[in-house]
Chain A
Amino acid sequence: MSSVDFKVEIGGLKLRSPILLASGTVGYGHEIAEFINMNSLGGIVTKSISLKPRKGNPPQRIVETPAGMLNAIGLANVGVEEFIKEKIPFLKKYDVPVICNIAASSVEEYVECTRLLDYEESIKAFEINVSCPNVKEGGLQFGNDLKSVGIVTNKVRAVTKKPLIIKLSPNVSNISDFAQIVKDEGGDAVSAINTLVGTAFNIFTRKPKIKNVNGGLSGPAIKPIALAKVFEIKRKVEIPIIGIGGIMDWKDVVEFMIAGASAIQLGTVNFINPIAADQIKKDLEEYCVSNKIQKISELTGSYILE
């Protein structure tokens, strides 16, 4: 047993560790379970689930960029029904809190998905992915529109008592306005950030490298942006924050927590180093011991501005 207290609390969600695995970067846990100890994770966030299965975008879906990657997976997922039948029973074999991430193309779909999944005991919280096109509003992303984020939060809140986390898009000018509306409409916490919109061209064919043209940028390239977003929310809104974006090692985790995160999620790093979650936990323990930090939660928002 470690002498450091790793417990954290995020808007009513009590976790044994601040290290979570990010949506879309570990599927539903099957493959990553071969590499890490699921029973010591803070939690696993599922690939975004939509009401019906989604095929996703045609290839090419990913391309590497300097210190990062672009992806346009297109929310490929098995849908609510198969998720309940096939994926939840697998996750139940482990002692790991499951945070169910939901994607939708209408407010009604967000509500319906949450309602159907709310009965599942192993789902400890919902994370709502608002970086999805709102089909009824001409494809504008929910996450880029304050009013839509408010409505989604309010309507989903009405159908679940479980902790409700809204995953914010960084592609906005003032992310703290979005965090404020989540709080006002009854959300318990925010995750920040989702990927940044980016693209890349092949200079010989002059075509976009990704079939969908635009993709979401992730990896170390986005870390300074993610930190600034977490910090902005921390300073302006009183709401727990889960920090995400380019975390590769324990130092990045400490940095996110200092900037204001109560917990963090590991994304792209899982592709490169599937044992990262376990390594980071061990390294964090050493950091805490040698810096006389008894509770890791002390780090949250502990920045010093001269």
Chain B
Amino acid sequence: MKIVHSPVKQIIELENHIFLLKIHSPEIANSIKPGQFLNIKVSDNIYPLLRRPFSVCDVEGENIFLMFNIFGEGTKILAHKKIGDDVDILGPLGNGFNFEDDFDTAIIVAGGLGVAPFPFLNRYLKDKEIYSFIGGRSSKDVITYKIINPEISTDDGSLGFRGTVVELLAQNLHRINNRKVKIFACGPNAMLRALRELCLEKNLLCEASTECAMACGFGICQGCPIESSNNPDKYLLVCKDGPVFNISEVII
């Protein structure tokens, strides 16, 4: 965990207001693990005041990639950075995905911008079979950048399966019978809640990256509580105990 100022190398507009920011940051590139995040100060004044959490979308050599849309105040400023501008980064933060336990098939489940951490995770899943289930409200919300074998769902049916991504996953579970499966998920709370139910019912191993409003991002403000299934008397902190949790250990 450190503060670094790293220059923007490239700003890539994917489609539908989704951007990738390529930043030259050897310190972060060499230490970050998939699922960990960065807390970024997008301006050098007090507007906006707080840092903004971003998961790292990918790492290539000494460069890191962030994925974002431009609907927030902070991300709008990021999208207007110029090549060579410094980005004030605090990180790496939190606990990432555990991809070292015993499984041979990885299932990626993501909704909307929840796809962000998976291009980086995929690099560590080279020896696994990967299935991906990607959802969005409508076709323009579906992002499949560097996603392997994506199956798509949309709430309005404008692309792929009509329904939620968890419903789509449930329909496809028979395909992975008799395999050692681990699910990696990231997306809106409603999606994670439905996924948690499915995983508990079918006894599936699943790690989910959760989201919460944050101030500090490293455990000093207590701003980011999440209910624990094991201890009802104490919240866990999304920034420090997470953001990735075994989905059975938290109540979303």
Contact = CB atoms under 8 A, between A and B. Distances in A.
Nearest to B88: A273
Interface string A256-282: 000000000000101111110000000
Contacts of A270: 216, 220
A216 B235 CA distance: 20
Interface string B81-121: 00000000010000000000000000000000000000000
> Considering residues B49, B90, B213, B226, which has the most beta carbons from chain A within 10 angstroms of its beta carbon?
B49
Contacts of B220: 25-27, 31-32, 270-271, 274
Contact of A73 (B49, B50, B222): B222
Contacts of B90: 274
B49 A64 contact: yes
A64 B50 contact: yes
Contact of B47 (A26, A30, A67): A67
Given A32-B220, A58-B225, A59-B225, A271 B51 contact: yes
Contacts of A275: 3
Contact of B213 (A25, A34, A55, A63): A63
A248 B225 CA distance: 26
Interface in A47-98: 47, 53, 55-64, 66-69, 71, 73, 76
A219 B222 contact: no
A69 B215 contact: yes
Contacts of A60: 212-213
A73 B233 contact: no
Q: Size class of A's contact patch?
A: 35 or more
A71 B49 contact: no
Contact of B219 (A30, A58, A61, A73): A30
Contacts of A68: 49
Contacts of B213: 59-63
B221 interface: yes
A122 B114 CA distance: 46
A220 interface: yes
Q: Which of B41, B221, B226 has the most CB of A within 10 A?
A: B221
A53 to B, nearest CB: 7
B222 A56 contact: yes
B250 to A, nearest CB: 12
A219 B48 CA distance: 12
Nearest to A65: B49
Nearest to A59: B225
Contacts of B49: 64, 67-69, 219-220, 268, 272
Given A24-B222, A53-B233, A55-B235, 15 more contacts: A25-B221, A27-B222, A30-B219, A59-B213, A59-B226, A61-B223, A62-B221, A64-B48, A67-B49, A71-B221, A73-B222, A271-B217, A273-B41, A274-B220, A275-B3
Q: Which 10 A-B pairs have the closest CB atoms?
A: A62-B223, A271-B216, A271-B215, A31-B219, A73-B222, A27-B220, A67-B46, A61-B223, A64-B50, A31-B220
24 contacts: A24-B222, A25-B220, A27-B220, A31-B240, A32-B220, A34-B1, A35-B3, A47-B222, A53-B233, A60-B213, A61-B224, A62-B215, A62-B221, A62-B224, A64-B49, A68-B49, A69-B50, A69-B215, A76-B222, A268-B49, A271-B51, A271-B215, A271-B221, A273-B41
